[in-house]
Structure 1
Amino acid sequence: MINSAAKTLEFEQFYIADREGEALEPVLKAVAAAAGRGVKVRFLLDSVMMKESSKALPALEKAGVKSRVINFKKAVGGVQHSKFFVADGKEVFVGSQNFDWRSLVQIHEVGLRIKSARAAADFRRLFEDDWKLAGGAEPKKLFSKKAKGAVTSASPETALLNGSTVTYSLAFSPAGYIPKGFDAEIDQLLAIIRAAEKTVRGQVMTYSLSEYGSKRWAELDSAFRLAAARGVKVELVFADWGMGGKGDRDIKALAKTDNIGVKISVIPQHTAGFIPFARVEHCKYLTVDGEFSFVSTSNWGPGYFLNTRGAAVIITGAAAAGALEDIFSRVWNGPYAQPVDPLKKYEPVKKG
């Protein structure tokens, strides 16, 4: 996508983390080369991670890349946590991957490449609004202008995936700080869980009903419990990063529920030794009834849906659900995932 870009590249990322000789290095060189051949390249990054991002920015800016830093916490209350880029207004890549060398080789991720000018237009609209927000625009006024032709649940787009036809829509977070006419991510996630008849399978890094001192928020938790109560088989995998201390109480409580299976995935250290902030399940997806899929940039907690920038793709079609359920099955049945023991005292995992 980057090498074939002829006119524009817009990157909206949480941060950039490179290391010499690692997998992101050729990607950053490709970005710089694109700017060098006349492509208009812009990077939007969150302020909270600029200590890390500032290491890679000078080389990009020297090549002609324009950048802005968004203080999403000041503007809305959370962070800019979405991870996407748009090429030539024709295609989008969005998923759980940060712009981090570890995401390419040391972290389990899931992403989507969407070849659609209509989908690209929605992501560009969000990028342009956030670009202006980073420049000092007032949030409420910025997002009040209605989006035209948005890819929503009421007006989805059709695509080919592995030779099969699927339909999809887009959704974003946080509600109230997305362009008017866009679907809200949490609404779409709750809708497909509430419609489940047979199975719900999901994998995400963290799960919590409260974050950073927020009030308890149980909408998603209730949706899982209600699905299980009506006979839906719910299976969820979380990363070991969410275990230890008070942080795992919501996961343990969910694991006690009939019809809900919860496992924790513990990816072993690299053979070369400990790698900070790596070797973790970072995917963010969910499938329902082998037919509906939800692929996102958000973890499952109130902070992500209520005041943090996120993006999701909701897909109808067995081709997408089948591909994701294949990933899920390998994790669920693999050697690194173990059922949660509600009575066990888990020790916090060393991250950095």
Structure 2
Amino acid sequence: MRKFLISLALLLGIGSNAHAEFSIPGFELVHTVPRETALATPDLREPLTVWCEMFAAARHEIVLGQFYVAGKTGEAFDQVIAQLDAAGRRGVKIRFLMEEKGKFASDMPTIARLQQIPNMEFRFLDYSKVTGNGIIHAKYFVVDGTAAYVGSQNFDWRSFAHIHETGLRLTDAAIVKQLQQIFEHDWQAQQLVASGQSVPPLNTDVVAADDSQAAFLVASPNAFNPSGVGDSETELQKLLAAAKSDVRVQLLDYAPLGYGPGRTRPYYAVIDDAIRAALARGVKVKLMVSNWNTEKPAIHYLQSLALLPGIEIRIVTLPQASSGFIPFARVIHSKTMSIDGQVAWIGTSNWAGGYLDHSRNLELVLRNEKMAKRVAELHEQTWSSAYAVPIDVLKDYPAPVKGKE
């Protein structure tokens, strides 16, 4: 037994080299520091440890909603898949729901490996057939209906090693239940879509979040949120409207543009209007985005926003790995916000059209000074690093290199 416990502790990262745990009741902040950077978060556990620990503890059921799947032989992420496999072999029921369009970014052998796990049911859902547009962009899972994980980390080996990511391990019973309900709705939606049926909306009016709570879940799209889950698009506007002094935001990308047919980018002013209104009230905004945000036309909107008094915008470029170019990696991908040092927002949405209106995404709002302060500190570390450079409003930025050299 002692040898077993020691082996388990080593697997889960428990020991002298393990990170401390930063948490408030019901919520643990989890973070990925990209390898070979000067960034460090010794008080935050890594998702590899947390995911393996949660899957190892599963006794009855694991449900996962993910955008895509990508593994790589020899990477530490193999441990995550191994823990899922071990759970299935000991009789845990596993249901995995993945976005159909996510196949383009996926590693098909890894999908096949997951599909072979005992007690695993793996389904694809084209979410645009639910909403008319959009994708499953949420990244989450629920274990035994008692614990869950929500964050920017995709089911991707790069998200655990070469991308700046932030998420939350949750044990808050009410929110875990809501996440399970969201999964069950989308799981059933897949069945309806597969049989050629339409998915009836759950809401015809916008559902406001009960923001009297210290912590609550909001999600999108509003029409397909279960009872008690507020609309994330509406809540984001409300939070920005209530900001008094300062707002810190970190994103992969930001643009007041949606995604239309024929690669068009229709105007989407919802978030941009809310930020401009906050600036007009005298709120200071520090907006940090990845270098992927320099593609056109998004960069032009960022340059326009940067001209307004009260806002600072920095673009973060992480150094290439010593092993060479890694497609779709070496980037900041966290989606976080801290308001007035009192409110933290941690979620799965990029701030552009298509995410908070048509796609399945999840956001946690925590009215907790300790968590808000830590999220702000996490922002400040990257903001003040050599990787973050103020936007140049006159520069003609070259297209970012994402998937190939």
Q: What interval of TM-score do these two structures reach, taking the shorter chain for normalisation? A: over 0.9
1:225 to 268, 276, 279: 276
| 1:141 CA displacement | 2.4
- CA gap of 1:321–1:154, structure 2 versus 1, over 3 A, is closer
TM-score (norm 1): 0.92
Do structure 1's residue 87 and structure 2's residue 146 form an aligned pair?
no
Do structure 1's residue 349 and structure 2's residue 400 form an aligned pair?
yes
CA contact (8 A) 1:153 1:170 kept: no
Between the aligned partners of 1:246 and 1:184, the Cα distance in structure 2 is 28
Between the aligned partners of 1:88 and 1:291, the Cα distance in structure 2 is 32
Between the aligned partners of 1:219 and 1:56, the Cα distance in structure 2 is 38
Residue 73 of structure 2 is matched in structure 1 by 20
CA contact (8 A) 1:48 1:79 kept: yes
2:152 to 86, 93, 96: 96
Give the 3-state SS of the residue equivalent to 2:83 in structure 1: helix
- CA gap of 1:55–1:143, structure 2 versus 1, over 3 A, is farther
Q: How does 1:174-213 map to 2 (within 5 A)?
A: 174-212=221-259, 213=264
Q: What are structure 2's unaligned runs of at least 5 residues?
A: 1-53
Between the aligned partners of 1:60 and 1:142, the Cα distance in structure 2 is 31
Between the aligned partners of 2:209 and 2:170, the Cα distance in structure 1 is 15
CA contact (8 A) 1:122 1:151 kept: no
Residue 159 of structure 1 is matched in structure 2 by none
| 1:331 CA displacement | 0.9
2:210 to 153, 173, 186: 153
CA contact (8 A) 1:13 1:45 kept: yes
Residue 354 of structure 2 is matched in structure 1 by 303
Residue 35 of structure 1 is matched in structure 2 by 88
| 1:135 CA displacement | 1.2
Q: Give the counterpart letter for 1:192 in structure 2.
A: L
CA contact (8 A) 1:261 1:339 kept: yes
Do structure 1's residue 112 and structure 2's residue 165 form an aligned pair?
no
Aligned residues: 339
Between the aligned partners of 2:254 and 2:198, the Cα distance in structure 1 is 28
| 1:140 CA displacement | 4.8
Question: Deviations along 1:71-129, whole A, 9 cap, x unmatched?
Answer: 01222111100000001100110000000000000000000011122211101100011
Q: What are structure 1's unaligned runs of at least 5 residues?
A: 157-166
Residue 168 of structure 1 is matched in structure 2 by 215
Between the aligned partners of 2:114 and 2:266, the Cα distance in structure 1 is 41
| 1:67 CA displacement | 0.9
| 1:197 CA displacement | 0.6
Do structure 1's residue 141 and structure 2's residue 200 form an aligned pair?
yes
| 1:142 CA displacement | 5.6
| 1:214 CA displacement | 4.5
Q: How does 1:331-342 map to 2 (within 5 A)?
A: 331-342=382-393
- CA gap of 1:347–1:184, structure 2 versus 1, over 3 A, is same
| 1:139 CA displacement | 5.5
Residue 57 of structure 1 is matched in structure 2 by 111
**Percent of aligned pairs with the same amino acid:** 33
1:45 to 98, 104, 113: 98
Residue 321 of structure 2 is matched in structure 1 by 270
Question: Deviations along 1:145-204, whole A, 9 cap, x unmatched?
Answer: 9xxxx9952463xxxxxxxxxx21000011212224320111111111110111000000
Give the 4+ runs in structure 1 shifted more than 3 A.
Answer: 137-140
Between the aligned partners of 2:160 and 2:329, the Cα distance in structure 1 is 10
Between the aligned partners of 1:343 and 1:222, the Cα distance in structure 2 is 23
CA contact (8 A) 2:257 2:352 kept: yes
- CA gap of 1:141–1:197, structure 2 versus 1, over 3 A, is same
Residue 121 of structure 1 is matched in structure 2 by 177
CA contact (8 A) 1:118 1:151 kept: no
Between the aligned partners of 1:180 and 1:18, the Cα distance in structure 2 is 35
Q: Give the counterpart letter for 2:255 in structure 1.
A: S
Question: Deviations along 1:203-229, whole A, 9 cap, x unmatched?
Answer: 001111113325312121111111111
| 1:305 CA displacement | 1.1
Residue 71 of structure 1 is matched in structure 2 by 126
